[in-house]
DNA sequence: CGATAACCGAGACGGTACGTCGAGTCTTGGC
DNA sequence: GCCAAGACTCGACGTACCGTCTCGGTTATCG
């Protein structure tokens, strides 16, 4: 996934030379690392304070507020950093690719840091609509589009029915795993065969033949 | 859903009659109304403070804390109150019941107050683990169990395959609609035929015959 | 000197009964004590922070801000508390009373706490004109009027010339000692005979006979 | 008063010629002008920040810190610059010189900028001990010594008694006018005859003949 | 009927974190 | 090496809520 730097929204790439001391890359890194460490250490969302982050990062509070207007904005960037690229098509056919995609979601939901982010940060989004949109634009949408590309290929290969809306197909395939990732426990994602079972089940249909 | 009164945790079922002035039913109503009004008025979750609720309800803070140990507990009750009862089986067979159940989820996701709850309150849950657990226990679980009962009946009627885990069947049927409810726009839920399309699609299977 | 409580300016003596928990007298005392202790401990004015006072007093910052709008207002009250009543007339005649008054000023300028207050707090006043006025009204003016009464009595007794403005007489008698108190070192005030020398010198005149 | 350049404390009198670009005289002027403008514009002492000065002067903060080690040092120089030279002896005798000196103090207390300095800056001195000491050393002391010289001459001329401590004589003559300058309103200084009245009163004595 | 006990609104209490501001230092590119 | 600009760490500011604790006063039941 391609993500802009946190200052992307200020569009500072002006023709005139930038003046003054440039922002410290090290400080930025320290902030990200501090947040991820705190998260990994079991800190819940409401315990995650800017003051705590600043202290853990060895950074002044102003250095954080210079980059992000509030806690949520910082988290969106943390989230973006943690998202890993989706798997490339395996070349073994569309069904295998669909399973791989679903299994990627399952593994991502299991990964400790990623799961914390997926749950906690995502949860805050409805309080800050513009951040919700930013997250959807930068994280959800690219993935959804990759999924749709995959689905269209599967339709071409005859693995998926052509008479259904691709959006619907996507939700039917991805919804269950994401639902489990967000709402339920990790234990519900541990079965390594889960992705195959899900994909095959919806492919074949839940009704008896 | 049937929910205990907020005083449930104080173990009021003592043999001896309670002495002193009883708690004011009016105050309780005022609190609930205030929270719902604030929510409807666009107050985001993080702006929803106990002090604000007390002021809006014309109630002392202690009157709130006398009933709920903390903000999370109050929110669980508010959320529970907003949940509407699930539809009774229609008697037209398991397939119709499944569609009805999915469509109920769709409509619930569209309802203004319910949506606020589903999104905002649910979103905060991972920040507030107790709220998350309480919500799962009191809201999600009963519904899930109703769903599982429905699914078992559908298996008995031969509408669903008997060789799949009922939990998996449930997630495959409910996951897509909940995924859309939580993550996407309301517009994705507007199609009145959506529930039927989803259920029939997964019943028949996404693979061409 | 008669001093109102710090909340005097809110005029809370309303007919309607005051509601809510009353302000803690103990907290107020703790705040005053903390400031005086810090001052006595050599803390300079710019090192004297509200946070430090709150910590030293074992009190929340809000408890201070509830009583005084800012640091300077708090100091005016601290100053008022520290001011001690002026000496009563000795009954030995106007000249002795004048010397006693000047010597009182000298001793006051020597007293550790009082001096700190006289210097540091007084120094801040020109930044906050209304506080300057309050201080003048509540501390300086009563003293000045006591001095003028004394002077008028001295005129009646024939100790002071009747052809001079009483204000001028007051400043000529009190100015030198206050000038030394404010601007110079403590060492300039140590001579126990200083007051007598000053009064007698200006009474007799500085010109040779 | 003659004041060293602000760089005095950096010991610039090195034998080897200074290398690199010399300090900008214009920047220095801009800084002084900015401070005086801000003062004249009603800025109180505690609102007078280095950042504000730098911005108003169109100068970098480092340019200020390169010249003065801290805010207090800058203020000492600003204060020194504002002090105007004392009057030369008039040649009309010691009494006239004493009156002229006291009247100079009176006029200085009335002058707008000088008064700002005398009151506001002086007021802060006890908060900022270094500033206090520097001010005493560079402003008060020379003036006091000039006053003492004058007094010694007056003693020689037989205008002042020889049996009194010159320091005491100085404080008795200057104290009243300085006391009025610092503590009271400008209106108390407006009488153009005030200096003469004060000097003559203390010369003749306050006791009736 | 009076005492007792738990309730009520109001608001102060000690804390914690907020987001801002300024101090004094450091680091850019440019003169 | 100086300059303007603006980043840096640090620490205090004054505000807002948290959850608790008095206040004076109001219903209830119990004795």
Q: Is D151 on the interface with C (CB under 8 A)?
A: no
**Cα D28–chain centre separation:** 20
pLDDT at residue D104 above 60? yes
CATH topology of domain C6-67: Arc Repressor Mutant, subunit A (1.10.10)
- B207 → closest Cβ in A122, A126, A203: A203
Whether B171 sits inside 8 A of A176 (CB atoms) is yes
- Which residue from A125, A201, A206 is facing B123, i.e. has the nearest CB? A125
| Contact between chains at D208 and C160 (C-beta distance less than 8 A) | yes
Chains B and A touch (3+ CB pairs under 8 A): yes
CB-count exposure of residue D63 (10 Å: 0-12, 13-18, 19+):
middle
Selected residue with higher pLDDT from D51 and B112: D51
Q: Which carries the bigger pLDDT value, residue B127 or residue A12?
A: B127
CA of C8 to C1' of E25 (A): 45
From the CA of C65 to the C1' of F20: give the distance in Å.
20
Cβ pair B79, B123 in contact under 8 A: no
Contact (CB<8Å) D179/C183: no
Query: What pLDDT was estimated at residue C9?
Result: 43
Every domain of chain C and the residues it spans? 6-67, 82-206
* For residue B178, pLDDT beyond 80: yes
Q: Which of A75, A169, A179 to mutate to test the interface with B (most CBs of B within 10 A)?
A: A179
Which positions 138-177 on chain A have a beta carbon less than 7 angstroms from any atom of strand E?
A: none
Give residues 19-48 of chain A lying near strand E (Cβ < 7 A): 19-22, 47
Dihedral sign for Cα atoms in the order C143, C149, C154, C158: positive
CA closest to F15 C1', residue: C62
pLDDT tier at D1, thresholds 50, 70, 90: very low
Q: Residue A164 in contact with residue B194, Cβ under 8 Å?
A: no
Q: Does B5 contact strand E, using a CB cutoff of 7 Å?
A: no
Predicted pLDDT of residue B66? 96
Share of chain B above pLDDT 70, in %: 80
**Under 8 Å CB-to-CB from B148, ≥6 apart: which residues?**
B166, B167, B170
Average pLDDT, chain D: 81
Phi, psi of D90 (to 5 degrees): -80, -20
Distance B60 CA to F17 C1' (A): 14
**Distance between alpha carbon C75 and the CA centroid of its chain, in Å?**
12
User: Would you state the pLDDT for residue A56?
Assistant: 97
Helix %, strand %, coil % of chain C (to 5):
70, 0, 30
Q: Does B128 touch chain A (CB under 8 A)?
A: yes
Q: How far is the alpha carbon of D25 from chain C, nearest alpha carbon, in Å?
A: 31
Q: Is A126 exposed, middle or buried (0-12, 13-18, 19+ CB in 10 A)?
A: buried
Instruction: Give, as ranges, the nucleotides of chain F with any atom within 7 Å of a protein CB.
Output: 1-30
Does the distance separating the beta carbons of A197 and B168 come in below 8 Å? Answer: yes
Q: How far is the CA of D30 from the C1' of E29 (A)?
A: 23
3-state secondary structure of C199: helix
State which H helix or E strand residue B151 sits in. Answer: helix B141-156
pLDDT at C117: 61
Q: Cα Rg for chain B, rounded, in angstroms?
A: 20
What distances in angstroms separate CA D18 from CA B161, D25, D62, D63, one per listed residue? Answer: 93, 15, 19, 17
The answer to whether D161 faces chain C, any CB pair under 8 Å, is yes
Chains that touch A (3 or more CB pairs under 8 A): B
**Predicted pLDDT of residue A184:** 66
pLDDT at res. B11: 41
Residues 13-32 of B with CB under 7 A from strand E: 18-24, 27, 30
First to last CA, chain C: 41
Tracing tokens 């400790």 back to the chain, one arrives at A112
- The tens place of each residue's pLDDT in chain C, 209 residues long, gives 334 444 444 444 454 667 889 999 999 999 999 999 998 887 877 789 999 999 999 999 999 999 999 887 888 788 778 777 777 777 788 899 999 999 988 888 777 666 666 665 566 655 666 666 777 777 778 888 888 999 999 999 999 999 999 989 999 999 999 888 876 666 778 899 999 999 999 999 988 87
Is residue D148 classed exposed, middle or buried when 0-12, 13-18 and 19+ CB atoms within 10 A define those classes? Answer: middle
Identify the sign of the CA torsion B156, B160, B163, B164: negative
Top mean-pLDDT range of A121-125, A179-183, A189-193: A189-193
Q: Summarize pLDDT for B22-51 with one digit per residue, the tens.
A: 999 999 999 999 999 998 888 877 889 999
Nucleotide E22 C1' to residue A127 CA (A): 33
Q: Is A120 on the interface with B (CB under 8 A)?
A: yes
**Count of residues making up chain C:** 209
Q: Can you tell me the distance from the alpha carbon of C147 to that of B24, in angstroms, rounded to the nearest whole number?
A: 64
Tell me the average pLDDT across D33-60: 90
pLDDT of A44 above 70: yes
Residue-level pLDDT at D116: 64
Neighbours of chain D (3+ CB pairs under 8 A): C
pLDDT for D17 equals 63
Name the residue facing C203 among D47, D126, D205 (closest C-beta).
D205
* F18 closest protein residue (CA to C1'): B50
Pick from A4-18, A141-155, B104-118: least confident: A4-18
Confidence of residue D2 (pLDDT cuts 50, 70, 90): very low
A73 beta carbon to strand E: under 7 Å: no
Band the pLDDT of B133: cuts 50, 70, 90: confident
Q: Is the pLDDT of residue D208 over 70?
A: yes
- Is a pLDDT exceeding 90 seen at residue B172? yes
- The percent of residues above 90 in pLDDT, for chain D, comes to 38
Q: Does residue A113 have a pLDDT over 70?
A: no
Q: For the whole model, what pTM was predicted?
A: 0.77
C-contacting residues in D 9-48 (Cβ below 8 Å): 44-47
Q: Which nucleotide is nearest to B10 (CA to C1')?
A: E6
Q: Which residue of D has its CA nearest to C44?
A: D127
**Could you tell me which residue, D84 or D197, shows the higher pLDDT?**
D197
pLDDT reported for residue C185: 65
In terms of C-beta distances under 8 Å and separation of at least 24 residues, what long-range contacts does A116-119 make, across chains too?
A116/A39, A116/A40, A117/A39, A117/A75, A117/A78, A117/A79, A117/A82, A118/A79, A118/A181, A118/A182, A119/A182, A119/B126
CATH class assigned to B82-206: mainly alpha
Greater confidence (A113 vs D198) lies with D198
Cα distance between residue C79 and residue C3, in whole Å: 11
Q: Hey, are the CB atoms on A207 and B204 less than 8 Å from each other?
A: yes
DSSP state letters, chain A: -----GGGGG----SSPP-SPPPPHHHHHHHHHHHHHHHHTT--GGG--HHHHHHHHT--HHHHHTT-SSHHHHHHHHHHHHPPPPPPP-SS-HHHHHHHHHHHHHHHHHSHHHHHIIIIIHHHGGGSHHHHHHHIIIIIHHHHHHHHHHHHHHHHTTSS-TTS-HHHHHHHHHHHHHHHHHHS-GGGG--TTHHHHHHHHHHH-SS--
Residues of D within 8 A of C123 (CB-CB) are: 122-127
Q: What is the pLDDT of residues D120-147, one digit of tens each?
A: 666 666 666 666 777 777 777 888 888 8
Chains C and A are in contact, defined as 3 or more C-beta pairs closer than 8 angstroms? no
Q: Which 44-83 residues of chain B approach strand E with CB closer than 7 Å?
A: 58-63, 66
pLDDT of res. B141? 82
* Cβ-nearest to B127 among A46, A169, A175: A46
Closest CA to D164 of D148, D180, D179, D176: D148
Between B71 and B163, residue with greater pLDDT = B163
Residues of C in contact with D127 (CB under 8 A): 44-46, 120, 123-124
* E28 C1' to A113 CA distance, Å: 36
Q: What is the mean pLDDT of residues B117-128?
A: 62
B189 versus B193: the higher-pLDDT residue is B193
Percent of chain D with pLDDT over 70: 79
Question: What's the CA–C1' distance between A51 and E18, in Å?
Answer: 9
Q: What is the CA A19 to C1' E26 distance in angstroms?
A: 15
Query: What pLDDT shows up at residue C8?
Result: 42
DSSP letter for B93, please: -
Higher pLDDT: A209 or C7? It is A209
């Amino acid at each position: 996934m391609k993500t802009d730097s946190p200052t992307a929204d200020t569009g500072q790439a002006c023709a005139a030379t930038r003046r003054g001391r440039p922002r410290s890359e090290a400080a930025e890194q320290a902030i990200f690392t501090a947040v991820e460490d705190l998260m990994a250490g079991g800190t819940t969302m409401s315990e995650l304070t800017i003051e705590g982050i600043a202290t853990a990062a060895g950074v002044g509070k102003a250095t954080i507020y210079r980059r992000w207007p509030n806690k949520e904005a910082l988290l969106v960037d943390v989230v973006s950093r943690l998202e890993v690229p989706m798997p490339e098509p395996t070349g073994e056919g569309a069904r295998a690719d669909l399973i791989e995609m679903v299994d990627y979601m399952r593994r991502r939901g299991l990964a400790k840091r990623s799961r914390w982010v997926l749950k906690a940060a995502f949860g805050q989004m409805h309080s800050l609509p513009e951040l919700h949109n930013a997250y959807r634009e930068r994280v959800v949408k690219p993935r959804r589009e990759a999924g749709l590309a995959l689905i269209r290929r599967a339709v071409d290969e005859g693995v998926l029915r052509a008479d259904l809306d691709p959006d619907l197909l996507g939700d039917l395939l991805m919804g269950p795993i994401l639902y489990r990732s967000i709402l339920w426990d990790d234990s519900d994602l541990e079965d390594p065969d889960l992705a195959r079972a899900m994909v095959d089940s919806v492919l074949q249909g839940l009704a008896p033949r």
